[in-house]
Amino acid sequence: MFHIFRHVAGAFCVAMIAGITMPPAFGADLGQKEVGPAPDIGPWSFAFTTYGWIPWISGDMTIRGRSFDVQADPAAILGHLDWDTIPAWMSYAEARNGPIGLFNDIVYANISNSRDFQKELPGKLPPLAGGVSTDYELVIVEFGGAYELWSGTNSAIGKPAAFDLVAGGRFWHQGVTAAASLDRFDAVRSGSVDWVDPFVGGRLRQQLGQNDSFVLSADAGGFGAGSNASWQVRATYNWQLPVMCNLLLDGYVGYRALSVDYSQGSGDTLFKQDVLIQGPVMGTTLHF
């Protein structure tokens, strides 16, 4: 099963390339161009980003009662993205009006015909090895709101800063179809699982110069309502790009880590995922 996650890492990397080469988009989590006191309620401003996330994935999974270690890095990527559809997509959007913000974040990867899986199955009998063809779909959608609790000057560097309270939900979908041809038998297993994690957290927006800033956000969720526990940390450096066609553009680079511990069922129906996805992110932002 860890082989599946290697392909998911490949989808993330392709999305990174898309985030750089597609039309300009948003700089994740910045929310509004200038960090500082929120203006009075007035017209809405919008920002949109396509971005890429190159992850290292570690942890363990149990699917239909069978457990696997998950260890994948970008160097293990194989080219099995499903180009008959959109192979991967990552985007962030935020609408802001004064101290109020509404945001949405999407991560999508679609893997098709993953093969050449080799896995040793522990036991008294000699290990079994065989080929597995796998179709895998991963969707993570965040949605929520932000409210500016504080704004002022950071006395340490003498620059404007603001702090937002964030809250929302994180929807997960995973669908797997695996056809295995082993030494002793053929088998096909498929299934999908969906859940939503509520989360709460905070976001610090720190102006560094006239045209650059630093954003640090963190949240915790699950609380047994969806997963047992989930947490996320994201840090990005954002800077203004040259104006093109009268469009205000930002670039950003940073790091994102997302962890989830989820389980449902028991015995042969047990699905459990306890994984950490972490790695660099980069993208571009369109403000309008």
Cα 104 to Cα 91: distance, rounded to the nearest angstrom: 8
35-40: average pLDDT: 48
| Residue 211 token pair | 């045209």
Q: What is the pLDDT of residue 51?
A: 94
- For residue range 260-281, list pLDDT tens digits in order: 999 998 888 888 889 999 999 9
Question: How far is it, in rounded angstroms, from Cα 116 to Cα 171?
Answer: 31
Q: What is the pLDDT of residue 56?
A: 83
51 vs 113, residue with greater confidence:
51
Polymer length in residues for the chain:
288
Question: Helix (H, G, I), strand (E, B), or coil: what is residue 284?
Answer: strand
Averaged over 21-42, what is the pLDDT?
42
Higher pLDDT, 123 or 139: 139
CATH number of the domain to which 123 belongs: 2.40.128
pLDDT of residue 81: 60
**pLDDT, tens only, 216-255:** 999 999 999 999 999 999 999 999 998 888 889 999 999 9
- Name which of 25-29, 100-104, 259-263, 280-284 the model is least confident about: 25-29
Residue-wise burial string across 225-244, b where 16 or more C-beta atoms lie within 10 A, e elsewhere: ebbebbbbbbbbebbbeeee
Is residue 25 scored above 60 in pLDDT?
no
Quote the mean pLDDT of the chain.
Answer: 77
Give pTM, 2 decimals: 0.79
Rounded Cα gap, residues 71 and 3, in angstroms: 8
The arithmetic mean of pLDDT across residues 48-63, rounded, is 86
Q: Which one is predicted more confidently, 288 or 148?
A: 148
Q: For 162-169, what is the mean pLDDT?
A: 98
Domain that holds residue 154: 2-287
CB 54 within 8 A of CB 16: yes
Q: For position 1, what pLDDT does the model report?
A: 43
Retrieve residue 187's tokens. Answer: 């088998």
Return the higher-pLDDT residue of 166 and 184: 166
Residue 205 or 67, more confident: 205
Q: Which of 23-27, 170-174, 211-215 has the lowest mean pLDDT?
A: 23-27
Helix (H) or strand (E) holding 4: helix 2-21
**pLDDT at residue 59 tops 70:** yes
| Cα distance between residue 29 and residue 214, in whole Å | 10
Task: Calculate mean pLDDT across residues 175-194.
Answer: 62
Which residues fall within 8 angstroms of residue 217, CB to CB, at 6 or more apart? 29, 166, 201, 202, 203, 204, 232, 233, 234, 235
State how many domains the chain has. Answer: 1
Residue 256 has pLDDT above 80, yes or no: yes
Res 259: pLDDT = 97
Average pLDDT for 159-175? 95
Highest mean pLDDT out of 58-67, 76-85, 88-97:
88-97
Predicted confidence at residue 273, as pLDDT, reads 87
CA distance 206 to 284: 19
Which uninterrupted H or E stretch holds 3?
A: helix 2-21
Residue 23: the pLDDT is 35
